[in-house]
């Protein structure tokens, strides 16, 4: 029940406060990652083995170290002699660390705010503003995007990033507390920074991409199942089964194909990255996505998070009854 309470409080903080506008720890983490990458990544000189080894060393250092420190700190507060010399105060401090830490790992409201900031000018046919806003959340070229392309990109981002910002974060917190949630969040951040298949990051970012794929494998499928249960279940499961395997991301394909099917709309299709057109399969079913589908995707994700909370509460209640 403690874990459930921590999650509820962290989600409430996220809803009330959103993402910190200044001094967010992930900004400092990102700056540290940039510092290390500039000094380690010699993509024009290093062999594949050397580049991958350097990247993997950087990833493990930046993810395992803070996770271990969080584990030791929380464990020390709960079991060791501390400056407080007051077990009740120490337990409260450990709880606050976990709640605030989880709140900072969750990015649900921030994701929704970014998506709505695109939907507003898009609905008003203000394509220049919509393009400018969508460029903040996607890596594809946005300068010549049509209304349909902006809608698809935004809806895909809501679905895919819901796994990173909500489902995976909650899953790893349930499994291993704050240390596991930090491990996932930091690895996901590094994948977002280094996981590109460009000359600069193809080898150096290999470790970040693989670790992120590993940590998201189970949460993406649990998240996809919850999207399917909330939306058009039969269509969503069919899209998952038939379309996800054709997508180049083992986790993104699952969550986006299922989410598109749950909304009964079409996503995916070709997109331009770094000046080149990338061939991507069509995901989902039914009509093309419309601007109002951005809000529908937000609602689908929010209801799915609610489903997770309900199931977690019932699981804890049943477990306590058995004991």
> Tell me: the pLDDT tens digits for 148-206?
999 999 999 999 999 999 999 999 999 999 999 999 999 999 999 998 888 899 999 99
pLDDT of residue 248: 87
Identify the domain containing residue 176 by its residue range.
2-322
**Number of domains forming the structure of the chain:** 1
Q: What is the mean pLDDT of residues 69-94?
A: 78
- What distance in Å separates the CA atoms of residue 29 and residue 8, rounded to the nearest whole number? 26
Instruction: Identify which has the larger pLDDT, 217 or 79.
Output: 217
Tokens of 66: 């803070």
Burial class of residue 321 in the structure, from the number of CB atoms within 10 Å of its CB (0-12 exposed, 13-18 middle, 19+ buried): exposed
What does each C-alpha distance from 219 to 6, 195, 235, 264 come to in angstroms? 19, 19, 21, 22
Average pLDDT, the chain: 91
**Contact by Cβ (8 Å): 259, 159:** yes
The structure tokens 């407080």 sit at 84
The structure tokens 């489902």 sit at 167
**141 — pLDDT class (breaks 50, 70, 90):** confident
**2 — pLDDT class (breaks 50, 70, 90):** confident
**142 — pLDDT class (breaks 50, 70, 90):** confident
**Contact by Cβ (8 Å): 141, 273:** yes
**Cα dihedral value 1, 309, 164, 13, nearest 10:** -70
Q: Strands (DSSP E) along the chain, which ranges? A: 265-268, 271-273, 276-278, 282-284, 287-288
């Amino acid at each position: 029940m403690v874990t459930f309470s921590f999650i509820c409080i962290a989600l409430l903080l996220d809803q009330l406060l959103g993402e910190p506008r200044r001094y967010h720890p992930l900004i400092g983490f990102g700056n540290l990652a940039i510092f290390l990458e500039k000094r380690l990544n010699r993509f024009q000189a290093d062999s594949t083995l050397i580049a991958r080894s350097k990247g993997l060393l950087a990833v493990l250092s930046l993810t395992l170290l803070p996770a271990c420190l969080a584990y030791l700190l929380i464990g020390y507060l709960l079991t060791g002699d501390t400056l407080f010399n007051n077990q009740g105060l120490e337990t409260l401090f450990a709880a606050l660390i976990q709640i605030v830490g989880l709140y900072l790992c969750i990015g649900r409201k921030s994701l929704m705010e970014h998506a709505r900031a695109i939907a507003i000018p898009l609905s008003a046919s203000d394509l220049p503003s919509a393009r400018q806003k969508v460029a903040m959340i996607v890596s594809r070229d946005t300068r010549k995007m049509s209304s349909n392309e902006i809608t698809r990109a935004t809806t895909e981002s809501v679905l895919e990033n819901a796994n990173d910002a909500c489902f995976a974060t909650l899953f790893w917190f349930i499994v291993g507390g704050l240390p596991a949630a930090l491990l996932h969040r930091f690895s996901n951040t590094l994948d977002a920074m280094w996981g590109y298949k460009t000359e600069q990051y193809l080898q150096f970012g290999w470790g970040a991409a693989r670790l992120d794929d590993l940590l998201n494998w189970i949460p993406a499928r649990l998240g996809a199942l919850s999207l399917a249960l909330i939306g058009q279940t039969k269509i969503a499961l069919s899209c998952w089964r038939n379309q996800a395997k054709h997508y180049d991301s083992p986790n993104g394909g699952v969550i986006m194909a299922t989410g598109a099917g749950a909304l009964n709309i079409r996503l995916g299709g070709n997109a331009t990255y770094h000046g080149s057109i990338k061939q991507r399969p069509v995901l989902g079913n039914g009509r093309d996505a419309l601007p109002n589908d951005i809000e529908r995707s937000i609602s689908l994700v929010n209801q799915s998070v609610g489903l997770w909370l309900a199931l977690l509460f019932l699981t804890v209640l049943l477990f306590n009854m058995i004991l």
